[in-house]
Amino acid sequence: QSALTQPASVSGSPGQSVTISCTGTSNDVGSYDYVSWYQQHPGKAPKVIIYDVSRRPSGVSHRFSGSKSGYTASLAISGLQGEDEATYYCSSYTSRTTLVFGGGTRVTVL
Amino acid sequence: EVQLVESGGGLVQPGGSLRLSCTASGFGFNTYAMNWVRQAPGKGLEWVSSISDLGGSKYYPDSVKGRFTISRDNSKNTLYLQMKSLRVEDTAVYYCAKGSDSGDYGPKWLDPWGQGTLVTVSS
């Protein structure tokens, strides 16, 4: 049950857009549309911002969007703001009926 | 408002046992799967266990299978995690999280999460 692969960090200036990739295998991301994304600020609990690849929970900014192609899912953040500075984790349902997370990506707003 | 409050964390010696609890409110507890996720200090998230709405299905990763047992008491709106044969590498903040559905086919996504309880395994 290897973790999904995410870049360790990405950065952007306020107002810019950034994209975080999340690469899995045929046993998880490649076979199921159950990819979710979580935002975690330091010292806080994670919060879901995208589920089922591209759906946004109510109350989550439209600046967050999700997509998937093959074995790779992506989270895009547009109009980067200071409050977006956090660590982002992807997650996927797997063929073993388990849940696997990515290693996390720290987003820095320059 | 959905609330999840974990308790039971603390310091335990390697090889010891500990039981975590998560008390839920603000939603139909007996209609949703529940989950435990942990985060070692300075590290990423690791899913630990899931249980379906009525407790009939339970899921674990290989890293805790046979050592951890998830259970629930729907009459008390409470989720549990019994941990035994604890190892230093089990040291983490343990989060309780509500599942997205009944959980009969495993965990899909988690929302919301509690604030976590710290488990430290050390001699």
Q: Is the pLDDT of residue A43 over 90?
A: yes
Q: Is the pLDDT of residue A1 over 70?
A: no
Q: What does B64-112 look like in DSSP terms, one character per residue?
A: TTTTEEEEEETTTTEEEEEE-S--GGG-EEEEEEEESS--TT----EEE
Average pLDDT, integer, range B87-94: 98
Cα dist from B59 to A97, B47, B50, B56, B85, whole Å = 7, 10, 5, 10, 19
pLDDT in tens, B6-52: 999 999 999 999 999 999 999 999 999 999 999 999 999 999 999 99
Average per-residue pLDDT in chain B? Answer: 97
Question: Which chain A residues contact residue B42 at CB under 8 A?
Answer: none
Average per-residue pLDDT in chain A? Answer: 97
Please indicate whether, in this complex, the C-beta atoms of A48 and B115 are within 8 angstroms of each other: no
Please indicate whether, in this complex, the C-beta atoms of A34 and B111 are within 8 angstroms of each other: no
Of B106, B107, B113, Cβ closest to residue A46: B113
The span from the CA of B79 to the CA of A13, in Å, is 42
pLDDT of residue B102: 86
Average pLDDT, integer, range A57-64: 97
Question: Which chain A residues contact residue B115 at CB under 8 A?
Answer: 45
Average pLDDT, integer, range B43-66: 97
Please indicate whether, in this complex, the C-beta atoms of B45 and A46 are within 8 angstroms of each other: yes
The span from the CA of A22 to the CA of A5, in Å, is 5
pLDDT of residue B104: 83
Q: Which residues of A touch B (CB under 8 A)?
A: 1, 3, 34, 36, 38, 40, 45-48, 51-52, 57, 89, 91, 93, 97-104
pLDDT in tens, A4-23: 999 999 999 999 999 999 99
Q: Is the pLDDT of residue A73 over 70?
A: yes
Interface-testing mutation among A99, A100, A101, A105, with chain B (most B C-beta atoms within 10 A): A99
The span from the CA of B26 to the CA of B3, in Å, is 6
Of B47, B63, B106, Cβ closest to residue A101: B47
Tell me the two tokens of residue B35.
Answer: 């989950």
Name the pLDDT band for A97 (thresholds 50, 70, 90).
Answer: very high
Q: Is the pLDDT of residue B103 over 90?
A: no
**Percentage, residues of chain B above pLDDT 90:** 95
Please indicate whether, in this complex, the C-beta atoms of A103 and B44 are within 8 angstroms of each other: yes
Name the pLDDT band for A93 (thresholds 50, 70, 90).
Answer: very high
Average pLDDT, integer, range A26-36: 97
pLDDT of residue B123: 96
- Do A70 and A101 meet the contact criterion of CB atoms below 8 Å apart? no
Q: Is the pLDDT of residue B61 over 80?
A: yes
